[in-house]
A and B are shown apart, each in its own frame.
Chain A
Amino acid sequence: MAPKLPPQPPLQHSTTAAADGQADSHAAPPKGILRWLLTTNHKEIGSLYLIFSLTMFFIGGIFALVVRAELFQPGLQLVNPEFFNQMTTMHGLIMVFAAVMPAFTGLANWMIPLQIGAPDMALPRLNNFSFWLLPVAFTLLLSTLFMPGGGPNFGWTFYAPLSTNFSPPSTTFFILALHIAGISSILGAINIIATILNMRAPGMRLMDMPLFVWTWLITAFLLIAVMPVLAGVITMMLMDINFGTSFFDAAGGGDPVLFQHLFWFFGHPEVYIMILPAFGIVSAIIPTFARKPLFGYASMVYATAAIALLSFLVWAHHMFVVGLPLVAELFFMYSTMLIAVPTGVKVFNWVTTLFRGSISFESPMLFALAFVVLFTIGGFSGLMLAIAPADFQYHDTYFVVAHFHYVLVPGAIFAIMAGVYYWLPKWTGHYPNEKLAQWHFWFSIIGVNLTFFPMHFAGLAGMPRRIPDYALQFADFNLLSSIGAFFFGASQLLFVLGIILCVRGGKKAPAKAWEGAEDLEWTVPSPAPLHTFETPPVFHRTPH
């Protein structure tokens, strides 16, 4: 199947950008700010995405802390409800679109070419453009907070007609910012698919790819399928607000529920977009530190594909109380319950990978193990939410908030942190300070559970979402959550410190930084030179 290749020359490594400039066809790259503005290198762009995402994580986190500070006790002490609604909205928008998605894109940029033996992404200049769209989009979004009437205050799900007929003047800018971010995601996804399908090292078949590459391939298809739907719905919003149309306005013949169908047709695959790369990262880390191959590689790939496909069939489980016809309600209940199966199967595969392994507990592994446990807990509350009649009591309460924070924070975010600790030796040439990373880990575990576990009870006890003040029976749960939130937020500073220290120095890491690590990225030196795999490597297939 693989084409017959001429004998391979020995692998060439270039050690510095300057040396590279002399040996290569393009002129020496610019220095300073221009270097970063114009870079087309997947490693530099990956770093840009990651630094951007970390910064936005703290900004989104500060918005959350404003919310939690107000909710620390009953009563309105710190902010008025108008501003509170802006904080909850911006927290959601920033975390989803500016923290989690760009972090995964950054990891993709850094690691996909290295894992498939490619010299760079397929479309390097498009890659640069995709990144730089993001600071523009989010500067615009954040600036709406300072505009007259304030920023978006209708929840990150921005349902019409609250977001069309009753929204602040800045809403049109919010729509523009989301369009720009959406374009960035779509272009990035195109790049990833083109790279994975065309630039694998000779001898590497699709079924030889690391799971992180597989999960990103599938995620990229999801992005291309649904980001245009988001673009469509926000454009319809724009029309309703500024051009007198009535897509979502009953008075003009439209339907507010249409908004919800369109939004969630995007929104549900979106949450899988935010978790599939996490599955890929964890599927790399657990086998490495258990020193044992991933159990059921083929099943894992198929299960990921099944999840992606099923994710298009479940959207209205976000709309169980909207007044759907009974048949529709039943359809979505059944499809939602079924999607738990391939997801659960993946958890069993990870646990079986651990069984009879030889396990060590370095920081990447700690975060990956915490992911398995805590993401599963989030999955359980998701299964409960799938039971439509029960959902009438859970919908729009803190039970839902608990569910999605468990799958996103100790889910997606822990997986990202695991990936960062795992790959930092490759990026910087140093191991992260293990003691500091362990402090970060344990503080994060305590913080995350203290913040979000009480929310299950608050929701079951009857506390709705998105309220700035609450009845007295919810006070204890909110007190705990607020303490946990500040504790968790502060402990993330340890993460930043750890990264900065690691970039600047630390215990030297060899090419294969972790004993059980198997994939292609561990064959290049640590730190990885600016240009790697300029000649395709000889790929030795290991049996899966």
Chain B
Amino acid sequence: MRSRWCWLLAIYVTASVSHTQAYGWNMPVGVTDVSSDIYGLHMTIFWICVVIGVLVFGVMFFSLFRYRHSKGAKAAHFHEHTSVEVLWTAIPILILVGMAVPATATLKNMYDASDAELDVMITGQQWRWRYEYLGEDVAFNSSMSTPRAQISGEEERGEYYLLEVDQPLVLPINRKVRFLMTSDDVIHSWWVPDLAVKQDTIPGFINENWVRINEPGIYRGQCAELCGIDHGFMPVVVHAMEEEAFDGWLAEQKEMAKEEAMGVDREWEMTELVERGESVYQTICASCHQSEGQGLPPAFPALANNQQLISDVDWHLDTILNGVSGAAMPAFRNTLNPVELAAVVTYTRNAWGNDTGDVVQPSTVAGKIAQ
């Protein structure tokens, strides 16, 4: 009997002393100093509420039990007691003032983005993120990579269902990274719980934020502001690496960017463009125009057997570059590079029975954009 209680006590003490919180039930402690400060504030205010709740509900349930009319309780007749009321007003005020001090300190820290070692521009778009390493000429889109078949249940769901992207944001650990956040269309919100960074991205305005990651790893989050039909399908993934590894990665990216820029000038084969275009289409266009080009009319027109598309390549390209004013179709001239644009135009002109045989070269697109 006694030993059983000892075991229970030991388990209880170990569980409470362990600083890994109940996985999946509570806010994460996270991997930054800010995230752990926030976790501390959260747990403090939580326990304050628990204590107050136990006291108040304790008196209440005691009264409900002890002073039942059915057991013959006679009601007292006091109306008020000012000093008690002053006390139970003053004590909560003091508790709140006590909470406000560390909360203020944490907030000030969160607002101080000075002395950053790396600047990253984060742009929210319907429905993906765009990351640019300022001053490094490295920029790319980050779209959800969970296949639509998993969403519809045709395929089994992977471990990171809805929380995986084609290209994560790669960051170094132990360096202060400043984020400049904006949006190209509606308000989105960039959020990674493990980093405790959340900020609305507002079209036409730039918000500043920062992070200093302490541990390498992959951290996942989601868009946190309703932004249209695929609000639930534009995750955030951050891959935090050791500093050397990051520097190597960045150098590699700069090389690849140079090569892609050179790819604009050469002549591309139809098959290369169609292959690239199909991948771009499924990532970028299928959420509205659907994976077989059938669309969701009237909001999202069908592309398959679309006569206007088939007959007018200039109109087709112009629509993708500049969007359709007053409708949901955005402009893609800044989101996709000329290779991707040429590829997706070529793909859609030849897929699903459209079969125009047309090929649009990246150099043509680059020329159009320059006009």
Contacts and interface: CB of A to CB of B under 8 A. Distances in A.
In-complex A–B contact (CB below 8 Å): yes
Given A82-B296, A359-B69, A377-B53, A154 B151 contact: no
Interface string A143-176: 0000011000011000101100110100000000
Given A321-B198, A393-B38, A348 B88 contact: yes
B207 to A, nearest CB: 4
A209 B99 CA distance: 38
Contacts of B199: 321, 323
Contacts of B108: 326
A161 B225 CA distance: 12
Interface residue range, chain A: 35 or more
Contacts of B79: 293, 295-297, 543-544
Interface residues of B, number: 95
Nearest to A469: B232
Contact of A256 (B34, B202, B299): B202
A384 B42 CA distance: 7
A487 interface: no
A166 B76 contact: no
Contacts of B88: 345, 348
A257 interface: yes
Contacts of B162: 74, 469-471
A168 B296 CA distance: 14
Nearest to A168: B299
Contacts, number: 273
Interface string A347-376: 111011011111110000000010011001
Given A82-B299, A384-B42, A292 B161 contact: no
B191 to A, nearest CB: 7
A296 B85 contact: yes
B301 interface: no
Interface string A106-138: 000000000000000000000000000000000
Contacts of A323: 199-200, 202, 205, 207-208
A17 B158 CA distance: 69
A249 to B, nearest CB: 8
Contact of A376 (B27, B56, B93, B226): B56
A387 B99 contact: yes
Given A75-B153, A383-B49, 13 more contacts: A75-B152, A81-B233, A85-B228, A166-B186, A321-B200, A323-B202, A359-B68, A369-B60, A393-B196, A461-B24, A462-B28, A466-B231, A472-B159
The 3 closest A-B pairs by CB, nearest first: A250-B204, A467-B232, A380-B49
7 contacts: A290-B67, A297-B80, A322-B200, A356-B78, A380-B53, A467-B232, A472-B159
Interface of B: 24-28, 34, 37-38, 41-42, 45-46, 49, 52-53, 56-57, 59-60, 63-64, 67-70, 73-81, 84-85, 88-89, 92-93, 96, 99-100, 103-104, 106-108, 110-111, 126, 150-153, 157, 159-163, 185-187, 189, 191, 193, 196-200, 202-205, 207-208, 221-233, 296, 298-299, 328
